[in-house]
């Protein structure tokens, strides 16, 4: 049950309607459908689904890296201005990603040739944010000791927290997280979720893609799930439904 | 990713407006430029993979080094050769091989001046002078105040013609230098031996690189004065009077008439080490008159093409020393003259008789005239006639004579007394006028028969030499047909330069293509290897243009490193190879030479080509689907 599905447009951060994408997965065609997805300001929304249900496809489309086959509404509400993202150029998408979005990927998403600290500072500068709070964020996420190390030399959990630090420093409007707690120990998971919460308290919205049902039950403000059914043409249809 | 999202846009619905986009960008007050980001990312990546970067730098250095070395070799070898030619004024000199057959006229002089930068005309190519205290004659060459040879060594000629420049060896031989007087001695032997001292102020010394011989340079006017004084003409400018006696007899060879011809061994003994003659005498069948019975004639031709009366006597003594009795008489080679009033045959050959008969005294108006012996077959000629022949630069000379028939003479042959024949022969060779009252030939100024022409540059030397050659063909002058110059050397250096340039271009093309392919391959491989990082960077908000810039900057940084390594390689080569060849004198100590403009040009060309190769290979970024590689 979604506890915080906004009904007013001004409470929304992101609103997607009838976003469709056809993908091929393990020799079968899957049509991914998002009839209605609303992300409220300052909320943590979670998307659940089994492997291959379309979670990553949704992630890529929302981050403007993948074009949907069809979308009736794709609005990013930036303050009082709704930005229609249905038909934008590559350059416009780049500018919006830089300014409005931050990302935490399952494998971290850090650049191997920069140190952890350089990764975080680079993202801050790219977003036009100050790099002064890097130390503070690093301390909070307990990664101060690895700032001078390259990502290849730190653990998976440390990489995930470093990616989270990078996202926090960017102070995004929307944070997209793809399986951010996968393979993490409980302590690291706690730190990640607490950070998400802190971010939402500041007005940012978090959309997390995961299959960790226990995490969802406790922390999510809104829940969605991909439900997969056979299609008439022999393929599959995976539809995002409120959970 | 498509440029535009593939979705239907309902009519009236707004897209993201430029104003909104600009507003987005404006909200980031401390955004560094994407160029700065590209630099930081490129440098960070190179530093992270420093071992790979170093390997690539060294590999590029190995590829580029030969280009610099070959360019340096070409500029060093050819450049040094060209520089030597360009700096030496004598490289631009064109002059006739022999003195001209006719004096230089105004039109030829004007045409030559148009084509040469500096022309020095003189009466002779050189003059042999004596200097007090030195045993050998000294070669005196004509020069002038605008002679590039003197100007190149900073020598300024004073007004007037009393000056001399000497060679380093002459300076050492005499112990004289600038400011001293060179004690020149003028000498002539006709009509009597004369030796007159002439001190010439030395204004400079030319180094041994100009001439390693004992040599001096004087003004063209001074050379003409000294030459004419020797010929017997007065030189008022030097206060020197004429010889007074006119031309002395000279002959082209000697005939020996003897009953018993010496053996070859005897002839060799007469020639060897004696001077005057270097060839064996040849039999002559028709001297122009009947040989006495039992006599044979042999023709002797001298080394320097002229023989005088004392030489004839000396030849007789050589025969006597070997036990041969020989009559020696002068020989004139191909001396043809006309008789006036005109008679057939038009031209007759002048000879000297073995024994000149007592000519009967002339009668009447011809009493004082010299006899001219002719064949009795020509006795129908007028008793008083003129002998007509050409004197160079003067025209026809007419000598009145009285006819004396002589049976022994062959048809078409005339003979005059040997002294007159000798003087006529001298007048045939040099300009002279005949004074019928004295019966003597007085020399006249011969005009300029030689020139030293300096082309404006070494590249103009072949052109000037070709023109002189063409003039020689047109005028039939052997001295002009084969001009003396360093034309061959200039052409050889230019040919060498062209060939080396062709070789260099070929090698550079192959090397350059290899290098550029290596660069492009490296960039392409880098893009493929880094596609996950490139996907992350796009996710973070860097555009494809910036990513292209990052990749290209990385590649160019490696190329710059490779160029630096190549230049170091060149420096090592130059420092090792230079001393190896310095002592050989082949290149003047500069085997390789790489001037800054040449080096910068090559560097610029490589960077430009590398940029194009890098950008071309980096453009494959456009084919990377970032969504595909985010989770790699």
Domain range list for chain B: 31-84+492-629, 94-244+446-485, 248-331
Nearest to B92 by CA among B537, B573, B456: B456
- Residue B27 pLDDT > 60: no
Q: Are B303 and B276 in contact (CB under 8 A)?
A: yes
> pLDDT category, B593, cuts 50, 70, 90?
confident
Taking the CA atoms of residue B507, residue B509, residue B511 and residue B512 in that order, the dihedral angle to the nearest 10 degrees is 150
Q: What is the DSSP string of B533-563?
A: HHHHHHHHT--HHHHHHHHHHHHHHHHHHHH
Cα R_g (chain A), whole angstroms: 18
Give the bridge partners for A177, in sequence order: A104, A208
pLDDT above 70 coverage of chain B, percent:
90
B371 φ/ψ angles, rounded to the nearest 5 degrees: -80, 150
Per-residue pLDDT at A166 exceeds 60: yes
Q: Report how far residue A103's alpha carbon sits from residue A92's, in angstroms, rounded to the nearest whole number.
A: 18
For residue A59, the distance in angstroms to the closest alpha carbon of chain B comes to 10
Distance CA B615, CA B609 (A): 10
**Contacting residues of B for A103, CB less than 8 Å apart:** 539-540
How far is CA B291 from its chain centroid?
52
Over 50: is that where the pLDDT of B31 sits? Answer: no
d(CA A2, CA B394): 132
* Closest in B13, B41, B539 to A84, CB measured: B13
Q: Where are the beta strands (DSSP E) in B189-287?
A: 194-206, 215-219, 253-258, 282-283
Contact (CB<8Å) B631/A107: yes
The beta-carbon neighbor of A91 closest among B20, B543, B627 is B543
Q: Could you give phi then psi for residue B490, rounded to 5 degrees?
A: -60, -45
The pLDDT of residue A5 is above 60 = no
User: Mean pLDDT, to the nearest integer, of B70-85?
Assistant: 85
B358: CB partners within 8 A, 6+ apart: none
Nearest-CB residue to A126 (from B24, B27, B540): B540
pLDDT of B120 > 90? The answer is: yes
ipTM of the prediction greater than 0.95, yes or no:
no
When comparing pLDDT for B206 and B500, which is higher? Answer: B206
List beta partners, residue B450.
B122
Architecture of domain B248-331: 2-Layer Sandwich (3.30)
- Looking from the CA of A5 toward its CB, the CA atoms found within 13 Å total 11
Q: pLDDT for B349-404, tens place per residue?
A: 999 999 888 766 666 666 688 999 988 876 667 788 899 999 887 889 999 998 88
Q: Is the pLDDT score of B7 beyond 50?
A: no
Residue from B22, B43, B532, B541 whose CB has the most chain A CBs within 10 Å, to mutate: B541
C-alpha to C-alpha distances, B602 to A73, B62, B511, B518, nearest whole angstrom: 57, 15, 13, 18
Name the 3-class secondary structure at A227: strand
Q: Are B539 and A109 in contact (CB < 8 Å)?
A: yes
Nearest CB to B533; choose among A56, A112, A126: A112
State residue B190's pLDDT score.
Answer: 63
**Cα angle: B624, vertex B627, B628; to 5 degrees:** 65
Residues of chain B contacting residue A83, judged by C-beta atoms under 8 Å apart: 16, 20
Using DSSP, state whether A144 is helix, strand or coil. Answer: helix
User: Is residue B283 left, alpha or beta, with left meaning phi > 0 and alpha meaning psi from -120 to 50?
Assistant: beta
Please check the confidence at residue B142 and state whether its pLDDT lies above 80. Answer: yes
CA atoms lying within 13 Å on the CB side of residue A63: 32
Q: Residue B14: its pLDDT value, please? A: 42
Query: Minimal CA–CA distance to B340: which of B294, B298, B301, B372?
Result: B372
What is the percent of chain B with per-residue pLDDT over 90, rounded to a whole number? 60
Q: How far apart are CA B209 and CA B168, in angstroms?
A: 9
Give me the mean pLDDT over the B505-522 stretch. 92
Q: Residues B520-529: what's their mean pLDDT? A: 93
Q: Do B16 and A83 touch (CB under 8 A)?
A: yes
Q: B6 vs A67: CB contact, 8 Å cut-off?
A: yes
Cβ contacts of B167 within 8 Å, gap of 6 or more = B205, B206, B208, B210, B211, B212, B213, B214, B215, B216
pLDDT of residue B360: 63
| Lowest-confidence region among A14-18, B333-337, B433-437 | B433-437
Burial classification of residue B84, based on how many CB atoms lie within 10 Å of its CB (0-12 exposed, 13-18 middle, 19 or more buried) = middle
| Residue B122 main-chain phi, psi, to 5 deg | -145, 165
Work out the mean pLDDT of chain B and round it to a whole number.
Answer: 87
pLDDT of amino acid B344: 66
Of B20, B29, B44, the CB nearest to A114: B44
Q: Which secondary structure element, helix H or strand E, spans residue B296, and what is its range?
A: strand B296-300
- Taking the C-alpha atoms of residue B412 and residue B355, their distance in angstroms, rounded to an integer, is 19
Quote the longest CA-to-CA distance of chain A.
Answer: 56
Both structure tokens of B396: 């026809």
pLDDT at B153 over 90: yes
Q: How many CA atoms lie within 13 A of B184 on its CB side?
A: 25
- Write out residues 33-52 of B within 8 Å (CB-CB) of A: 37, 40-41, 44-45, 47-49
Q: Is B537 on the interface with A (CB under 8 A)?
A: yes
Per-residue confidence band for B12, with pLDDT thresholds at 50, 70 and 90: very low
Whether residues A127 and B541 touch (CB distance < 8 A) is answered with yes
Domain spanning A10-242: CATH 1.10.260.40 = no
Rounded CA gap, B501 and B587, in Å? 18
Contact B31 A71 (CB under 8 A): no
Among A38-47, B433-442, B451-460, B578-587, the least confident range: B578-587
Q: Which of these ranges, A7-16, A123-132, B85-94, B203-212, has the smallest mean pLDDT?
A: A7-16
Bridge partners of residue A24, in order along the sequence: A29
Dmax (CA) of chain B: 143
Query: Which residues from A are below 8 Å from B537, CB to CB?
Result: 111
pLDDT attached to residue B480: 95
Least confident interval from A10-14, A55-59, B573-577: A10-14
pLDDT value of position B59? 94
- Chain A partners within 8 Å of B7 (Cβ): 67-68, 70-71, 86-87
Residue A180, pLDDT > 50, answer: yes
Per-position b or e across B355-389, b if 16+ CB within 10 A of its CB:
eeeeeeebeeebeebbbbbbbeebeebeebbbbeb
Q: Which pLDDT value is given to residue B24?
A: 59
CB B143 within 8 A of CB B220: yes
Residue B15: is its pLDDT beyond 70? no
The predicted model gives B465-479 an average pLDDT of: 94
> What pLDDT is recorded for position B6?
41
3 state SS of B375? strand
Name the residue in chain B with its Cα closest to that of A59.
B627
- Taking the whole predicted model, whether its pTM rises above 0.90 is answered as no
Lowest mean pLDDT among A72-76, B243-247, B574-578: B243-247
What are the chain A neighbours of B14 within 8 Å (beta carbons)?
84
């Amino acid at each position: 049950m979604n506890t915080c599905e906004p009904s007013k447009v001004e409470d929304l951060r992101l609103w997607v309607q009838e976003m469709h994408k056809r993908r091929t997965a393990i020799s079968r065609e899957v049509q991914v459908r998002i009839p209605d997805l609303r992300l409220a300001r300052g909320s943590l929304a979670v998307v659940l689904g089994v492997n291959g249900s379309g979670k990553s496809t949704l992630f890529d489309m929302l981050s403007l890296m993948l074009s949907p086959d069809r979308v009736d509404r794709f609005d990013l509400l930036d303050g009082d201005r709704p930005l229609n993202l249905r038909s934008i150029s590559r350059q416009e998408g780049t500018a919006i990603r830089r300014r409005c979005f931050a990302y935490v990927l399952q494998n971290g998403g850090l650049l191997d040739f920069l140190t952890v600290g350089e990764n975080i500072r680079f993202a801050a500068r790219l977003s036009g944010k100050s790099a002064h709070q890097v130390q503070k964020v690093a301390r909070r996420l307990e990664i101060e000791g690895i700032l001078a190390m390259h990502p290849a030399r730190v653990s998976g959990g440390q990489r995930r927290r470093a990616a989270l630090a990078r996202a926090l420093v960017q102070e995004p409007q929307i944070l997209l997280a793809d399986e951010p707690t996968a393979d993490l120990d409980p302590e690291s998971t706690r730190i990640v979720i607490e950070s998400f919460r802190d971010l939402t308290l500041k007005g940012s919205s978090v959309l997390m893609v995961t299959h960790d049902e226990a995490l969802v039950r406790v922390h999510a403000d809104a829940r969605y799930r991909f439900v997969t059914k056979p299609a008439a043409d022999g393929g599959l249809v995976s539809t995002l439904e409120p959970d | 990713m498509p440029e535009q999202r593939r979705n239907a846009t309902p009519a009236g619905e707004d897209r993201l407006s430029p104003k909104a986009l600009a507003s987005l960008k404006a909200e980031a007050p401390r955004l560094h430029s994407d160029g700065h980001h590209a630099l930081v990312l490129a440098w960070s990546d190179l530093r992270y993979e420093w071992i790979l970067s170093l390997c690539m730098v060294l590999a590029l250095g190995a590829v580029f080094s030969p280009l610099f070395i070959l360019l340096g070799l070409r500029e060093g070898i050819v450049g040094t050769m060209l520089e030597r030619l360009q700096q030496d004024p004598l490289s631009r000199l064109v002059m006739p091989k022999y003195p001209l057959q006719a004096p230089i006229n105004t039109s030829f002089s004007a045409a030559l001046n148009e084509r040469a930068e500096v022309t020095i005309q003189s009466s002779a190519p050189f003059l042999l002078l004596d200097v007090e205290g030195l045993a050998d004659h000294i070669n005196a060459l004509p020069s002038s105040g605008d002679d590039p040879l003197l100007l190149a060594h900073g020598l300024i000629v004073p007004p007037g013609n009393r000056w001399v420049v000497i060679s380093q060896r002459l300076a050492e031989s005499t112990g004289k230098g600038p400011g001293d007087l060179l004690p020149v001695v003028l000498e002539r032997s006709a009509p009597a031996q004369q030796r007159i001292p002439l001190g010439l102020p030395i204004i400079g010394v030319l180094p041994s690189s100009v001439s390693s011989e004992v040599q001096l340079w004087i003004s063209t006017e001074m050379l003409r004065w000294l030459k004419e004084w020797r010929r017997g003409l007065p030189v008022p400018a030097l206060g020197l009077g004429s010889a007074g006696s006119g031309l002395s007899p000279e002959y082209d060879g000697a005939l020996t008439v003897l009953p018993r011809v010496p053996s070859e061994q005897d002839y060799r003994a007469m020639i060897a080490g004696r001077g005057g003659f270097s060839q064996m005498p040849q039999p002559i069948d028709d001297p122009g008159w009947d040989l006495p019975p039992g006599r044979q004639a042999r023709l002797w031709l001298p080394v320097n093409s002229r023989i005088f009366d004392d030489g004839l006597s000396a030849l007789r003594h050589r025969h006597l020393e070997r036990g041969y009795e020989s009559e020696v008489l002068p020989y004139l080679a191909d001396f043809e003259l006309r008789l006036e009033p005109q008679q057939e045959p038009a031209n007759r050959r002048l000879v000297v008789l073995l024994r000149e008969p007592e000519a009967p005294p002339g009668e009447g108006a011809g009493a004082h005239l010299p006899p001219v012996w002719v064949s009795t077959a020509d006795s129908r000629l007028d008793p008083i006639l003129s002998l007509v022949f050409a004197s160079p630069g003067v025209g026809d000379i007419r000598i009145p004579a009285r006819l004396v028939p002589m049976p022994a003479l062959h048809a078409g042959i005339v003979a005059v007394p040997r002294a007159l024949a000798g003087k006529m022969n001298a007048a045939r060779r040099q300009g002279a006028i005949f004074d019928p009252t004295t019966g003597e030939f007085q020399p006249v100024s011969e005009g300029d028969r030689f020139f030293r022409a300096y082309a404006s540059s070494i590249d103009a030397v072949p052109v000037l030499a070709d023109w002189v050659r063409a003039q020689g063909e047109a005028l039939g002058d052997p001295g002009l047909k084969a001009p003396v110059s360093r034309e061959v050397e200039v052409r050889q250096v230019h040919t060498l330069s062209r060939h080396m340039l062709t070789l260099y271009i070929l090698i550079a093309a192959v090397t350059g293509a290899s290098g550029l392919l290596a660069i492009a391959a490296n960039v392409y491989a880098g893009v493929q290897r880094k596609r996950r990082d490139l996907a992350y960077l796009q996710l973070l908000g860097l555009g494809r243009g910036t990513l292209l810039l990052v990749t290209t900057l990385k590649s160019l940084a490696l190329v710059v490193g490779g160029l630096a390594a190549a230049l170091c390689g060149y420096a090592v080569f130059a420092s090792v190879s230079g001393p190896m060849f310095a002592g050989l004198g082949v290149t003047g100590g500069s085997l390789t030479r790489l001037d800054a403009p040449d080096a910068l040009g090559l560097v610029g060309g490589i960077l430009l080509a590398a940029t194009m190769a890098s950008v071309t290979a980096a453009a494959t970024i456009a084919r990377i689907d970032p969504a595909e590689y985010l989770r790699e």
